[in-house]
Amino acid sequence: MTDAAVRAVRWFGRFLWDFVIGDTPELALATGVIVAVAFLLDGSEWVGATLLPLLAAGFLLASTLRGRRRAPSRSTSP
């Protein structure tokens, strides 16, 4: 492989890492869990159709809370 091709592959690898993991690794992990749960629910109808969106919403809440900027606590602010 030429140097240019190696550089291109490395660049694409870095891009994919930033794209999929980036600064929210918990969302990548959450997606892995959702995929695993979906396979466990193979053949289901209402259970899968209810549980998968709820799982996604739950993980989204956890990630959003992790990313929020905290307001100063009333007990510690002057």
How many CB atoms sit inside 10 A of residue 77's CB?
Answer: 7
Residues 2-41 that bind other proteins (CB under 8 A): 15, 19-20, 22, 24, 27-28, 30-32, 34-35, 38-39, 41
Q: Should residue 61 be labelled a site residue for other proteins when binding is judged by CB under 8 A?
A: yes
> How far is residue 59's CA from residue 38's CA, in Å, rounded to a whole number?
15
> Does residue 29 contact residue 63 with C-beta atoms inside 8 Å?
no
Residue type, 3: D
State the residues that interact with other proteins by CB under 8 A. Answer: 15, 19-20, 22, 24, 27-28, 30-32, 34-35, 38-39, 41-46, 48-49, 52-53, 56-57, 59-61, 63-65, 67-72
